[in-house]
Structure 1
Amino acid sequence: MDRRSFLKKAAVGGVGAAGAATLAAPAVAQSMPKINWRMTSSFPKSLDTIYGAAETMAKYVEAMTDGNFKIQVFAAGEIVGGLQAADAAAAGTVEACHTASYYYWGKDPTWALATAVPFSLNYRQMNAWYYYGNGIDLTNEFFNAQGLQAYPCGNTGAQMGGWYRKEINSLADVKGLKMRIGGFGGKVMEAIGAVPQQIAGGDIYPALEKGTLDACEWVGPYDDEKLGFYKVAPYYYYPGFWEGGPTLSSMFNLDAWNKLPDGYKAVLKTACEAANGNMMASYDWKNPPALKRLVAKGTKLRPFSVEILSAAYDASQSIYSDISAKNASFKKIRDSQVAFMRDSFLWTQLSEYNYDTFMMQMDNAGKI
């Protein structure tokens, strides 16, 4: 091939390549359109861990789309109240919300299963069930009927049992107890004699201080310290048997979700999963020093009695049985969770439980 022939063919090839690049540009632009969404949170900005999970997710989305997909997060009360977040997203008032689905269990008990119900899955089990046990599809089968698409986006791990103005030693002490408790746990506490109140996070302290509440539960040491409950209710009980692994959700208006390019859907899923793990790591780092500070300030740690735990467990199982007999959606998801929980504990009692127990003994002996 002579030089002139080679240059002619190269020039043609160069034009072809340039043309291909020109033609490809609109397709790229179409796959990453400029989108601005609003997300309403169920939580105040002061709770940097819980509220912060939504901001973390939004930052991941913006970074992964070169700034083309932006989600502005609003604290509870800025657009709608904390307990109206899912309703606002379903109605299209906002495109998204970050919430605990069990806040809406009064509409249908099935809502609670996506977050936590008493004596159920812990954090690791919830993640395993969601990501590998078909949990995301099972819950979205329900949420789609509500006009929503949802993904796990944060977890606190097993929570504390709350703050009490007086000691709670027996079932007799639970009778008539006015307690702020979210989700399905309130139904179980009601079954053993308490009077549950569902109040958004920012409103709990004033009610506890005025005596409108006798007790409250929120999350755990780090967040509870921020909200100041120890100042008016010194007894801090454990464990929070109603929330072994409470999963928060990013929920998206179903129509808005369906209009997204597939690439943006993948980005949202990935960002939610990343924020989910990030939030748990944050709590694991922040809770230990917070607990030490609370005890130094006079907090009195107390375990729930076996009498209370046993009565609550029996009540919860009876309630699940009654609901499952009438609610097919609840039964389908609950049965899936329970089947996995049985298998999971077969393994964790050999591995994590024995390892953690031994290491705690070493810590208590001052050997760590």
Structure 2
Amino acid sequence: MERRSFLRNTGLAGVLAAGAAPAVVHAQANVRWRLASSFPKSLDSLYGGAETLAKKVADMTGGKFQISVHAAGELVPALGIVDALQNNTIEAGHTVAYYYFGKDDAWALGAGIPFGLNSRQMTAWMYDGNGLKLMREFYSNYNIINFPGGNTGAQMAGWFRKEIKSVNDLKGLKFRIGGFAGRVMERLGVVPQNLPAGEVYQALEKGTIDAAEFVGPYDDLRLGLYKVAPNYYYPGWWEGGPQVDFYISQKAYDSLSSEYKAVLEAAAALVHSEIQAKYDARNPEALKQLVAQKVKLVSFPKSVMDQGFKVCQDLYAELSAKNPAWKKIYGDLEKFRRDLYLWWRFNEAQYDRYMQGVKL
């Protein structure tokens, strides 16, 4: 049987099981890529995802496909990855789509929007719905192809110097909040600040900002935000299940062999599940440690969330009326979400509510 015919019939898993991988790898060219992360090394779950990708790609190609990983600011600014890809400064990036909503609001849909999908639902929409297809169609306008590269799960709302008892308490608040969610918070009177992770602590400590959110207990503990703001709010309704992505220059991706493309896809899929698992496993213990530091856990008043939801629906309707890309992608996401919650309400949510109410 010819080698290419064998590969088509068995797939990558079959090749590895049959012991044919060394010959396949031997036939491939050496590839060297640079990957820029939007995250500092201190955020090991997020930054570590890119390191895992690089390691797995190298392992599966016998070291022939090497990806060097660079933390935020080493090669390009934390929020400069898309521009760097388009300029061919780098071949790959690990970042969050909503950072780039300034280019087009539709970017936010690739990560997560306020009152959007949770992490499992986002993964379902991407892999078995139309999410990945629609976002790749959109990213092709920027000569980028994406692979889902992690999800943090529902995030915390963040750290506040003062308590938020009503929407009025948000007015004039200088709030570090990432990406597109700032558009919504502006409508509630907030003054959003889009700062990378490495600058958040200092800004909060000096009073340059009044509040800050990043991810959740595990990362927030490492950033030390509890030392400079005592009130830890939940839930982060603007980030119910934000996805992280690997962005690849279309030019660099097209230059890969079909085997290397398959390796890259498999490695990214592993990272996607691994990051979610890390946050689910590590957040509980980190929350315990934060509570031990006398952190005050506070839930947002329902009135604040209700107003936030209303503002979101108004904004999404406005964007659908004027932005064809938003209308196409959001319309599909909205229908998918509606069907999912029909199922969730009768089964998943009911099970979770029961288990949270029993003594374990």
Task: State the TM-score bracket (shorter-chain normalisation).
Answer: over 0.9
The residue type paired with residue 347 of structure 1 is: W
Compute the displacement of 1:196 (Å). Answer: 0.3
The residue type paired with residue 222 of structure 1 is: Y
Q: Which residue in 1 is equivalent to 2:72?
A: 76
Aligned residues: 341
| C-alpha distance in structure 2 between counterparts of 1:44 and 1:334, whole Å | 31
Contact 1:159 / 1:239 at 8 angstroms: preserved in 2? yes
Q: Which residue in 1 is equivalent to 2:151?
A: 155
Matches within 5 A, 1:41-190: 41-190=37-186
Structure 2 gap ranges (5+):
1-19
Selected match of 1:330 from 316, 326, 330: 326
Q: Which residue in 2 is equivalent to 1:218?
A: 214
Compute the displacement of 1:222 (Å). Answer: 0.3
Change (3 A) 1:31 1:240: farther
SS at match of 1:349: helix
| C-alpha distance in structure 2 between counterparts of 1:53 and 1:30, whole Å | 27
The residue type paired with residue 259 of structure 2 is: G
SS at match of 2:192: strand
SS at match of 2:33: strand
Compute the displacement of 1:324 (Å). Answer: 1.0
Q: Which residue in 2 is equivalent to 1:228?
A: 224
TM-superposition CA deviations, 1:282-314 (whole Å, max 9, x none): 011100010010011011000101111011111
Contact 1:31 / 1:261 at 8 angstroms: preserved in 2? no
More deviation in 55-64 or 71-80?
Answer: 55-64
| C-alpha distance in structure 2 between counterparts of 1:162 and 1:149, whole Å | 32
Contact 1:90 / 1:252 at 8 angstroms: preserved in 2? no
Contact 1:90 / 1:254 at 8 angstroms: preserved in 2? no
Matched, 1:247 2:247: no
Q: Which residue in 1 is equivalent to 2:32?
A: 36
Matches within 5 A, 1:253-292: 253-292=249-288
Compute the displacement of 1:30 (Å). Answer: 7.4
Matched, 1:342 2:345: no
Q: Which residue in 1 is equivalent to 2:6?
A: none
SS at match of 1:54: helix
| C-alpha distance in structure 1 between counterparts of 2:57 and 2:27, whole Å | 14
Compute the displacement of 1:134 (Å). Answer: 2.2
SS at match of 2:239: coil
TM-score (norm 1): 0.90
Compute the displacement of 1:62 (Å). Answer: 1.1
Contact 1:86 / 1:99 at 8 angstroms: preserved in 2? no
Matched, 1:311 2:307: yes
Selected match of 1:202 from 194, 198, 203: 198
Q: CA RMSD for the aligned pairs?
A: 1.5
Contact 2:25 / 2:62 at 8 angstroms: preserved in 1? no
SS at match of 1:63: helix
| C-alpha distance in structure 2 between counterparts of 1:29 and 1:284, whole Å | 36
TM-score (norm 2): 0.92
Change (3 A) 1:345 1:29: closer
Q: Percent identity?
A: 51
Compute the displacement of 1:29 (Å). Answer: 6.0
Structure 1 gap ranges (5+):
1-23
TM-superposition CA deviations, 1:10-57 (whole Å, max 9, x none): xxxxxxxxxxxxxx99x9467521101000000000000011111111
Regions of 4+ moved over 6 Å: none
More deviation in 148-157 or 58-67?
Answer: 58-67
Higher alpha-carbon Rg: 1
SS at match of 2:264: helix
| C-alpha distance in structure 1 between counterparts of 2:133 and 2:260, whole Å | 19
Matched, 1:321 2:321: no
Compute the displacement of 1:64 (Å). Answer: 1.2
TM-superposition CA deviations, 1:197-242 (whole Å, max 9, x none): 1000100110000000000110000000000110010100000001
Compute the displacement of 1:65 (Å). Answer: 1.1
